[in-house]
Every structure is written in structure tokens, then in C-alpha cells.
Amino acid sequence: MSHINTHSEENRLREEISEIGRAFRQLGMAPGTSGNISAKCEGGWLMTPTNASLGALDPAEISMLDWDGNLLSGKPPTKESFLHRAFYESREEAGGVIHLHSTYASAVSCLRGLDERSCLPPITPYFVMRVGRLPLLPYFQPGDPAMGAAVREYAPDYSAVLLANHGPVVAGKTLEAARNAIEELEETARLFLLLKDQQINTLDESQIEGLRQQFGARW
């Protein structure tokens, strides 16, 4: 019975990854073959394949990997799988990880003068609660494994990072939580760019402390 349940859960996650990929494409958050999605499951983790459009994923072709990196089923995984593995190995509670080249967050990642401790200020309570501080990582060439090592340094303390001139990587306790967080991050990046030349009222420390106490926000 446990084997059947395990297989059923894996299939459910494959379908969920495909549905989320389609939603990101419809929202304009996953152009071309950019972005990748993963989820932890029994015996390993599921990862979107290399050169795959998130808007046209075949659930059966999604890569299944063990924790040694061996491909168990599906097509070969994205070359950026080490970004996801860094979060899984550093945050035991992580159940899903998403990396996108979404427009507004990627635009922020190209700006000069960002606060490297958190690229986005606490504009809204939802950003503070769902994402938290967003540290800026240096630029790495696409596919450079050093990106994974850089993410691993931050992952124990942060659930999201922004790769310079690239885009965000977000982990959540579940795949749905990661999805909600990265959509909130994208919306906050959009607000930040809209307000960039204005004086912004950000949440003060007492307001943030209230979110910590009532919602467990990490800021």
C-alpha cells in the first residue's frame, strides 16, 4: 500500500509542476525555455528537464533524481539543478524550489546600488511574510556550479535569493508555497520599479515585529 501511495504522490507532484509551469507561462513569467521547477518526493526529487518550456511540460518527462544526482526516470534535468539541490540540502523543511527569469525581478537584479542584504525593501506585509529578506548574489555564467555553492551559503537563513543579472530562486515548505512566494516577489519587484523615483513608505521595525510575532515572518 505504501508503494502505491508513494507512486500516487509522485504523479500528483508531476501534474502540479506542469500546472504551475503553464500558469507561469500565461503570466509572462517564464519566457522561452527559461526557468525551472522542482519538488521533493519519496526517494528523491522531481526536476523540470533541460531546454523545456514551462508552458508545455509533459508530466511523464519530468526528471526524477535521487539524492546522489542520478537520473531515475524522465528526461535529463536542467543544467541549473544545483540551485535547487543547494536549498534542499540546506533547508530540511524545503519541499519545493522555483527559479525564474521573470521580468520585474530580473530587472531589479540588473540595477546598481542595491542593498545586497535585501534587494527589495519591506514595501508590503505580504512580501515580508511570504519571502522575507532577499539577498543579492554575484553574477555567475549560466550553468556555473559555483552558483550552487553561493546559494548554499545563504539557504540556511534565507528562503529566497536574487542572482545578479539573472533572476530569483525561491524555496517553500511545499511547491504551492514556493509558487506563492515567487509570485509575491515578482509583484513586489514590479511595485519597487514603479515607485523607484518616489519616496517610499516602507514598513518600520515595529510593524515588521508584529508580522514576526503573529505570522512567523523572517526578516
Q: What are phi and psi of 33, to 5 degrees?
A: -110, 25
DSSP letters, 142-171, are: TT-THHHHHHHHHTTT-SEEEETTTEEEEE
Interaxial angle between packed helices 175-194 and 2-26, expressed in degrees from 0 to 180 and rounded to the nearest 10: 20
Instruction: Name 41's Cβ contacts closer than 8 Å, sequence gap at least 6.
Output: 6, 9, 10, 13, 64
Q: Is 116 marked active-site?
A: no
Q: Is 15 marked active-site?
A: no
Looking at residue 136, its amino acid is L
User: Rounded distance, CA 134 to CA 161, Å?
Assistant: 5
Catalytic residue among 10, 15, 16, 80: 80
Catalytic residue among 19, 93, 116, 126: 126
Catalytic site positions: 80, 126
